[in-house]
């Protein structure tokens, strides 16, 4: 015999998939459980909702700011090509290539992440924006409370540890993306003002680093050329002194040939030495004047370069400090001039010991009553016929030509440096400038609050239902019917459960 309320097998095969009556009983049980324990359900709902709303209000917020730059390859070649059409192709190592993919980026752009996230740049950002002090002032209350508790449990970190921690935080919070052919710099931070300032500072640091890299090769070339020019100047000086010594000997021979009384035997020893000393003193003074002019030119160039660096960088930047040191060293005077002046004093002392009188300056006319015109008339043939003078003259001319070539290259390199510096502002286009974030990206307060309210409803119903289930009491008539298999004839309402 079949069990009570159990359908026969043919009817069971035709029964519906869902037992709607049973479902209705369960729904009624849940509804009645909420009514029986309405304060428990309401309290659970309120506690959960309040906690969710409090979390949405108190959880630390994260703000996001971003800027995008578009590199322009042709910008760095059009203006230099128009200003200096004769510039060598080596200064344009990456010309436009129609076979290159559209979104492909160049080397400096690919290294944007390394340029922005390198440690010295992050340390500079921290110092420029005073992040160590502003970090505490802009911390959310919840995180500030956590920091207070951690400081009570552990010793406070020193400045170096705080700097290392801030560098690590910046490495995680700053993102640099170049996948789509653009340079996107983004910052996630707990304060909107700092997020905005960090993006601007990171963008400017990337532009400064890119400009420095593009100009560094030209600056290195100028430095190398200037070193070679100094060596060429020394070689010219040596060749000039050799030629001057040979020329002085030729002058003495010419004066002896025309019967200069200063070269007679009774005066030959002293007068010849005095003549050579006078010529050496005049030569030394001309060298002093030339060296002083070169020193003044070098001083002017360094002061101009210092003014440009001060416009580009902060006063404590290594480039500014290095140039200021060089300028201070130049202001103390030229070592070459001092050495030449010391040599001049020695020549003057020797000249005075031989009985020489005051020495006129090179530009001052020197009286010569001893037939200078006759000396000069035969001087050129004497020089041209002298093999040593010819070799010394050609050597001097060759070294002068080499020095002029180097000076010309230095001028071209300085022109290229100025052009590249002025044209760099067209190197990148700011597609999306940094903007002050208007709302945080996380947490989503509305989603948290609505989720908390919904969870409160679920938990309230679950709490009321759990209390009835765990009590083990029979509260509904269908529980008797389904549990005992007998029908319920009547129900007695005893009022709400206490």
Residue spans of the domains in the chain: they are 19-58+444-484, 220-425
Instruction: Give CA–CA dist 16/34, Å, rounded.
Output: 30
- Give me the pLDDT at residue 5, please: 47
Which of 197-201, 202-206, 302-306, 461-465 bottoms out in mean pLDDT, i.e. has the lowest? 461-465
H/E segment holding residue 85? none
Q: What is the pLDDT of residues 209-259, one digit of tens each?
A: 888 888 888 888 899 999 999 999 999 999 888 888 887 787 777 666 656
Return mean pLDDT, the chain.
75
Distance of alpha carbon 217 from alpha carbon 413, whole angstroms: 10
Which conformational region is residue 349 in: left (phi greater than 0), alpha (psi within -120 to 50 degrees), or beta? Answer: alpha
In the chain, the percentage of residues whose pLDDT exceeds 70 is 68
CA 320, 326, 331, 332 dihedral sign is positive
Structure tokens at 400: 């002068």
- DSSP string covering 284-333, please? HHHHHHHHHHHHHHHHHHHHHHHHHHHHHS-TT-HHHHHHHHHHHHHHT-
**pLDDT at position 230, please?**
92
**pLDDT for 48-84, tens place per residue?**
888 877 776 767 778 888 888 888 765 555 555 554 5
Percent of the chain exceeding pLDDT 90 equals 4
What's the pTM value of the predicted model, to 2 decimals?
0.52
- The pLDDT score that the predictor gives to residue 267 is 42
Predicted confidence (pLDDT) at residue 313 exceeds the cutoff of 50 = yes
293 contacts: CB under 8 Å, gap ≥ 6: none
φ, ψ at 187 (rounded to 5°)? -135, 130
466-492 mean pLDDT: 65
* Four-residue CA torsion sign, 26, 29, 34, 35: positive
Tell me, what's the pLDDT at 266?
45
Measured from the Cβ of residue 13, the count of other Cβ atoms closer than 10 Å reads 8
Residues 6 or more apart whose CB falls under 8 angstroms from that of 128 comprise 201, 314
**Residue 227: per-residue pLDDT:** 92
- In this structure, of 69-73, 286-290, 486-490, the range with the lowest mean pLDDT score is 486-490
**Residue 148 or residue 372, greater confidence:** 148
Look at residue 80 in the predicted model and tell me its pLDDT.
54
Say if CB 64 and CB 188 are below 8 A apart. Answer: yes
User: For position 443, what pLDDT does the model report?
Assistant: 76
393 in Cβ contact with 243 (< 8 Å): yes
User: Greater confidence, 267 or 484?
Assistant: 484
The pLDDT of residue 102: 47
Task: Look at residue 1 and give its three-state secondary structure.
Answer: coil
Q: How many residues does the chain have?
A: 498
């Amino acid at each position: 015999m079949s069990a009570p309320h159990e359908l026969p097998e043919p009817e069971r095969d035709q029964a519906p998939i869902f037992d709607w009556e049973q479902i209705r009983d369960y729904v009624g049980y849940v509804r009645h459980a909420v009514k029986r324990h309405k304060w428990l359900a309401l309290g659970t709902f309120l506690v959960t909702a309040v906690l969710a709303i409090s979390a949405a209000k108190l959880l630390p917020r994260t703000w996001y700011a971003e800027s995008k730059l578009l590199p322009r390859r042709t910008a760095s070649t059009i203006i230099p090509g128009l200003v200096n059409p004769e510039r060598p192709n080596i200064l344009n190592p990456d010309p436009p290539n129609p076979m290159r993919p559209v979104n492909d980026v160049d080397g400096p752009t690919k290294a944007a992440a390394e340029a922005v996230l390198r440690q010295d740049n992050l340390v500079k950002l921290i110092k420029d924006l005073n992040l160590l002090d502003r970090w505490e002032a802009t911390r959310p209350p919840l995180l500030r409370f956590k920091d207070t508790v951690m400081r009570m449990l552990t010793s406070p970190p020193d400045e170096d540890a705080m700097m290392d921690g801030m560098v690590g935080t910046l490495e995680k919070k700053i993102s640099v993306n170049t996948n789509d052919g653009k340079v996107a710099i983004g910052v996630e931070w707990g304060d909107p003002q700092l997020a905005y300032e960090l993006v601007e500072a990171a963008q400017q640091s990337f532009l400064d680093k890119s400009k420095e890299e593009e100009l560094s090769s030209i600056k290195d070339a100028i430095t190398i050329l200037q070193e070679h020019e100094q060596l060429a100047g020394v070689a010219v000086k040596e060749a000039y002194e050799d030629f001057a010594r040979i020329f002085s000997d030729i002058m003495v021979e010419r004066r002896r040939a025309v019967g200069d009384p200063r070269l007679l035997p009774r005066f030959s020893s002293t007068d010849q030495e005095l003549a050579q000393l006078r010529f050496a003193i005049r030569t030394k003074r001309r060298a002093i004047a030339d060296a002083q002019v070169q020193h003044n030119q070098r001083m002017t160039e360094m002061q101009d370069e210092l003014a440009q660096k001060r416009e580009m960088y902060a006063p404590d930047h290594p480039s500014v400090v290095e140039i200021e040191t060089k300028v201070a060293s130049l202001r103390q005077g030229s070592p070459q001039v001092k050495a030449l002046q010391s040599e001049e004093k020695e020549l003057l002392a020797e000249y005075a010991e031989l009985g020489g009188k005051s020495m006129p300056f090179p530009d001052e006319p020197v009286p010569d009553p001893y037939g200078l015109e006759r000396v000069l008339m035969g001087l050129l043939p004497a020089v041209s016929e002298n093999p040593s003078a010819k070799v010394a003259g050609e050597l001097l001319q060759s070294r002068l030509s080499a020095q002029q070539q180097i000076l010309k290259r230095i001028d071209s390199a300085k022109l290229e440096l100025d052009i590249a510096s002025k044209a760099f502002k067209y190197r990148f286009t700011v597609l999306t400038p940094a903007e002050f974030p208007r709302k945080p990206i996380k947490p989503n307060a509305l989603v948290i609050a609505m989720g908390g309210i919904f969870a409160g409803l679920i938990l309230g119903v679950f709490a009321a239902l759990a209390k009835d289930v765990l009590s083990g009491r029979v509260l509904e008539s269908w529980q008797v019917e389904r549990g005992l298999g007998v029908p319920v004839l009547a129900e007695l309402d005893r009022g709400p459960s206490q």
